[in-house]
A and B are shown apart, each in its own frame.
Chain A
Amino acid sequence: MEGIKGALLEVQEYVRLSIAIVRGTFSRPFYAHDVVEQLDVIGLGSLTVVLLTGFFTGAVLALQSGMTLDQFGARPYVGRLVSASMIKELGPVLTALMLAGRVGSGIAAELGSMVVTDQVSALRALGTDPVRKLVVPRVIAGFIMCPILTVVANAVGLLGGWIIAVSQLRVASSVYWQSVADGLYLEDLWMGLIKPFFLGVIIVTIGCHVGLRTSGGTQGVGRSTTSAVVAASVTVLVVDFFLTRLLISVLF
């Protein structure tokens, strides 16, 4: 019973924070320089990990699918498989999971530390709304940067697949890129681009929610960091499923 009550309370507080974020986004005061700072922290800061993840995912996809396609004599179609997998599903989800690990945990740890050292109370005492100052800029940055990073991951994923296709599978470069183009429909691109907007917001809002509800000193900060990563990663996968279901029914 206590567990259910606790879970409902968490949901209630998350919804309350989400409403405050919407209000804070469309009304003043608005801390624009914090948004710019967060675009740098969340976007540029995550670039390396997204580049590596995207590249090697594309490469391993080409390797694995090359072996399977060989059984049907369909090796030239490897580009189609890589592009369809990366752009529709793996690009958005893996980027989101990387952001959950890097950005979600960072936000939870930073805000959690601020809560346990009274810095958030100090902000309120100094006349600043912590949601507007700390949460809204991060959410906006997540909303903008997650799709951009996903596009980057998709691009380097296709590049990784191309390198493997050309160097290991002996598929001609032009055949690979033609296959990539053949495998994609406009609807796929939309699906791959729409999902990251939602996933970016989810990762950041969960990180902020967990961080702001931290209690119990430095141990609590550690707990919050772990909870933020676990909750964001699971939510990303669950929301991805339902979003995909919804987008399929809308787009196709």
Chain B
Amino acid sequence: MRRASLEEFGLPIELVEPHAPVVLFDKVSLAFDDKVILDRITFDVRAGHTKIFLGASGAGKSTILKLLLGLLKPDAGTIWVLGHRVDLMNEEQLMGVRHHMGMVFQEGALFDSFTVGENVGYKLYEETRQSLESVRQRVEEVLGFVGLGEHIDKQPSELSGGQRRRVAIARAMAAKPTLLLYDEPTTGLDPMTSLTIDAEIIKLRDLENVTSVLVTHQLRDAFFIATHEASRTASGAIEMVPAREHKLEQADFVMLKDGQIAFEGSAADLRSSSDPYLQAFLS
């Protein structure tokens, strides 16, 4: 049955303490036939932090996001998301955890047959009994947040690549998630458009307190997100400024190589690493 509101939708967040990791991967392994994708991967993500996964194509970055969402099951290891063992849950239980999560897919994955507004409000329209007026209000609010308010009645095919990604971000945030997952959000976009996407990710993290897990191989975007923060000026405008010390500590990089973690640390640690693979990747 459709829920009266979003509050009825999800399972409660069951973190053992307020500062417990929002995401915990413990010795997670996954292989497709003979190809090992992830080999005993362990990491955690704290509330309000950003975890950025780097690595060559096929290194298993996107697989981590799919495991987090429960779209894939690991061969071994445990995955905790918001206090729930998602690796043991069935699809129906996973829906309850996914309620607290949003995902921005590569290329956006917008529904072709729906307008921008219907895409953004999909979950509210389809899975709750909220009035059309209140859904429309929320849709306008989030589209305004990503600067696309005037495109609400357009079809996704009428938008540029960058606009489609921003609509995908708006769709992911419409249901006010606690955790947002980004799969290559800037791949294939020009540098200026990529910066607008980076700014949206930073705004969501800093102004809406959303925990972020980002997968990318766009180093410029990864470093920009890790080293900047959003702040409101006296006039209420939002601007991107270099991150202060405590914000810098909240962004971690993870480099994946051959199914394992080759590096984990801050942006400064990554830049100063003498590891030849990291050096080659960064250059």
Contacts and interface: CB of A to CB of B under 8 A. Distances in A.
Nearest to A120: B109
Interface residues of A, number: 16
B127 A128 contact: yes
A216 interface: no
Interface in B161-220: 171, 175
A119 B122 CA distance: 12
A129 interface: yes
Interface stretch (B43-51, B98-106, B229-237, B261-269): B98-106
A186 interface: no
Interface string A5-47: 0000000000000000000000011010000000000000000
B107 A124 contact: no
A117 B126 CA distance: 21
B9 A125 contact: no
Interface string B60-79: 00000010010100000000
A119 to B, nearest CB: 5
B280 interface: no
Contacts of B278: none
B154 interface: no
Interface string B87-127: 00001000100110111011101111000000000110011
A176 to B, nearest CB: 47
Contacts of B106: 118
A121 interface: yes
A125 B71 contact: yes
Nearest to B94: A124
Given A118-B105, A118-B106, A118-B107, A127 B69 contact: no
A189 interface: no
A124 B127 contact: no
Contacts of A117: 107, 109
B111 A127 contact: no
A122 B71 CA distance: 10
Given A29-B1, A29-B2, A121-B66, A127 B9 contact: yes
Given A28-B1, A29-B127, A127 B105 contact: no
A121 B105 contact: yes
Nearest to B183: A118
Contacts, number: 58
A124 B109 contact: no
A126 B168 CA distance: 12
B91 A125 contact: no
A40 B110 CA distance: 24
Nearest to B72: A121
Contacts of B109: 117-119, 121-122
A213 to B, nearest CB: 15
A127 B112 CA distance: 18
B111 A125 contact: no
Given A118-B105, A121-B71, A126 B1 contact: no
Interface string A124-152: 11111100010000000000000000000
Contacts of B105: 118, 121-122, 125
Nearest to A133: B126
B103 to A, nearest CB: 4
B86 to A, nearest CB: 13
A119 B69 contact: no
B123 A127 contact: yes
Interface centre among A31, A113, A126 (most CB of B within 10 A): A126
Interface in A29-88: 29, 31
A179 to B, nearest CB: 49
B71 A124 contact: yes
A129 B95 CA distance: 9
A122 B114 CA distance: 14
A9 to B, nearest CB: 13
A129 to B, nearest CB: 7
Contacts of A121: 66, 69, 71, 103, 105, 109
Nearest to A131: B91
Interface-centre pick from A113, A122, A129, A133 (highest chain B CB count, 10 A): A122
Contacts of B1: 28-29
B2 A125 contact: no
A127 B177 CA distance: 12
A162 to B, nearest CB: 42
B184 to A, nearest CB: 11
10 contacts: A31-B126, A118-B105, A119-B109, A121-B71, A122-B109, A122-B110, A126-B98, A127-B127, A129-B91, A133-B126
Top 3 A-B pairs, shortest CB-CB distance: A118-B109, A122-B109, A125-B103
Interface of A: 28-29, 31, 113, 117-119, 121-122, 124-129, 133
Given A125-B103, A126-B98, 16 more contacts: A28-B1, A118-B106, A118-B109, A119-B110, A119-B111, A119-B112, A121-B66, A121-B109, A122-B111, A124-B69, A124-B71, A124-B91, A125-B71, A127-B9, A128-B127, A129-B95
